[in-house]
């Protein structure tokens, strides 16, 4: 079942099953492909992303619009600067 309260992203990055530093390395590469103003949804299972994704956004000037945690995964919605 899809949660309709979550925003519709322009792109998605699936990093489930990967561990630090791979999700952030993939995120860095994906952001380079996107345009300013796009919304990226990142799906992760690594708990380290709860620390790494916000720091990544702050350091590079992207906006972490929403983070959402379920028992199975972590979801991040990042507005590309």
**Among this protein's residues, is 20 annotated catalytic?**
yes
Candidates 7, 14, 16, 20; catalytic one? 20
Asked if 76 contacts 44 with a C-beta cutoff of 8 angstroms, the reply is yes
What is the β-pairing status of strands 11-14 and 39-44? parallel
- Other C-beta atoms within 10 Å of 34: how many? 16
Q: How many CA atoms lie within 13 A of 67 on its CB side?
A: 15
Q: Catalytic residues, which ones? A: 20
């Amino acid at each position: 079942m899809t949660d309709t309260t979550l925003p519709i992203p322009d792109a998605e990055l699936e990093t489930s099953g990967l561990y630090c530093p791979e999700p952030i390395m993939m995120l860095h590469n994906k952001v380079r492909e996107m345009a300013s103003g796009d919304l990226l949804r990142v799906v992760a299972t690594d708990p380290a992303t709860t620390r790494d994704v916000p720091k990544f956004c702050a350091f590079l000037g992207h906006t972490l619009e929403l983070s959402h945690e379920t028992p199975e995964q972590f979801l991040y919605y990042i507005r590309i600067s």
